[in-house]
Amino acid sequence: MDIHLQSFGARLRVKDGLFEVTVPDLSGANHHVVDQFATHQVQSILLQPGTSVSADALLLAIEQDTDIVVLDRFGHPQGRIWTARPSTTLEVWKNQLAMSLRPDALRFAKSWIEAKLHRRIQFLQKLKNYRSDEKQALIDKACSELSDYLSRLHVVPVHDHNPAAATIRGLEGSAGRVYLATLSRLLPDEYRFEGRSARPADDMFNAFLNYGYGILYRIVERDLLLAGLHPYIGFMHYDGYQRKSLVFDFIEPYRIWVEKTVFNLFAAKKPGQMHLTTILGRSDGMWLSQEGKKLLADALHERLQHKRQELDGRRFSLHQLLREESRRFAAEVLNWQHAAEAVEENMTT
C-alpha cells in the first residue's frame, strides 16, 4: 500500500515502531484522524505540499527500502529520497541509458504501440455488440484498417532508429485518425468532433481526453519512478530538456483506459457546458471546469480501482496492473545487459 499525504497539515511520524499518519481537523474541533501502519504494509510514501514528515519516519522508510516520492500540488513527481547504500536503481538507469541507444529500445517502444492498437481494436469490437447494422459496418471497416496498420507496424525493422521511428510514428498517427473518427461517429450528434486536438482542445471530447491523459501521465510517471526507472530516458520519443520521454513511450498501451472512460461518459450524455470553463487571458480552446475535472477524475478512479485484468494467472486492478508491469519492465532493463551479452555470444559461436 501507499501512504499518500495530500491534505494540508497532514503529517507522518513514527510511534511504537509504526508509521503514524495524522490528518488534523482544521475546523478547531480537534477531531483529528490518526492511522497507524506496520512498516511491511507500506511500499511507498508520497508527499505533497502542505504536509510534513519527521526525520525518524524518513529513516525508518529508508531502512525498510520504502520509496519516498515528493510530488507537486498537481501530483507530479518532483524528487525521490533513497538510501545512500548501493541499490539496483543506478544499475537500472545505466542499462536504461545503454538500451536507449540500441535497437532493443525501439523494439520495446514498438511493442507498446502495437498493444495500444490491439486494445483499441478490441474496444471497437466490444462497442459493435451494442450498435445498429450501419454502425456495425462502420466499426468493421475501422477494425479492418486498424488491423492492417497493426500488421504493417509489426514488420517494421528497428535496426536503424531514426527512419524506423519515423515510420512507426506515421503508422501510429494514421491508425489514430481512423480510430478517433470512428469514435466520433459512434457518439451522439451533439458530441461529435473532428480529429485529435491537444491543449487547448477544439471540442469537449478532446478536452476530456486531455485531462484524462494528464491524470494517467502522473500515475505512469510515479509508477516508473517507484520501479526504479528514469522517466527522462526514452526509447522512441526524443530526449530533451525536461521531457519525460519514457513516460510518453510507456503510457501507450494504457491510454485506452482513459478513452473508454471518456467515451462512456459521453455515450451516457453526462458532460455538459457546466463542465467547461475559460482560461483567464485566453479566448481559444476548451478547458474543463472543476465540475468537469471531478466528473472525469471520479470515473477514471473508479475504473482503475475496480476494473480487473489477468496477468500470468493473477487478477489485478488496473492500478495494480500498471505498477506490476512497471516493475517487470524495470526487471527486464536490469537484466538486459546479461541477456544482450548472451545473444552476442551465441551469434559469434
Which is nearest to 228 in space by CA: 86, 55, 116, 52?
A: 86
pLDDT of residue 70: 87
Nearest CA-CA partner of 20 in 40, 38, 41, 6: 38
* Per-residue model confidence (pLDDT) at position 343: 45
Q: Which tens digit of pLDDT belongs to each residue from 222-240?
A: 889 888 899 999 998 665 5
Please tell me the least confidently modeled range out of 74-83, 129-138, 223-232, 315-324.
74-83
Least confident span in 27-31, 70-74, 341-345: 341-345
Looking at residue 292, its pLDDT comes to 93
Which pTM value belongs to this model?
Answer: 0.81
Q: Read out DSSP for 79-110?
A: EEE--SS--HHHHHHHHHHHHHTSHHHHHHHH
What mean pLDDT value characterizes the chain? 88
**Amino acid letter, residue 217:** Y
Q: Mean pLDDT throughout 271-287?
A: 78
Q: Give per-residue pLDDT as tens, 338-347.
A: 555 544 445 4
Q: Does the domain formed by 92-340 have CATH 3.30.450.40?
A: no
Lowest average pLDDT, out of 75-79, 124-128, 164-168, goes to 75-79
Give the three cell numbers for residue 125: 469490437
81 vs 136, residue with greater confidence = 136
Q: DSSP class of residue 1?
A: -
Rg, Å, the chain Cα set: 22
User: Which CATH architecture is the domain 2-85 placed in?
Assistant: Ribosomal Protein L15; Chain: K; domain 2 (3.100)
| pLDDT surpasses 80 at 282 | no
Taking the CA atoms of 89, 90, 93 and 99 in sequence, report the sign of the dihedral they define. negative
- Per-residue confidence at 310, pLDDT binned at 50, 70, 90? very high
Question: What residues does CATH 3.100.10.20 cover in the chain?
Answer: 2-85
Q: How confident is the model at residue 5 (pLDDT cuts 50, 70, 90)?
A: confident
Residues of the chain with CATH 1.20.120.920: 92-340
Give the pLDDT mean for 301-306. 94
Residue 241 vs residue 4, higher pLDDT: 4
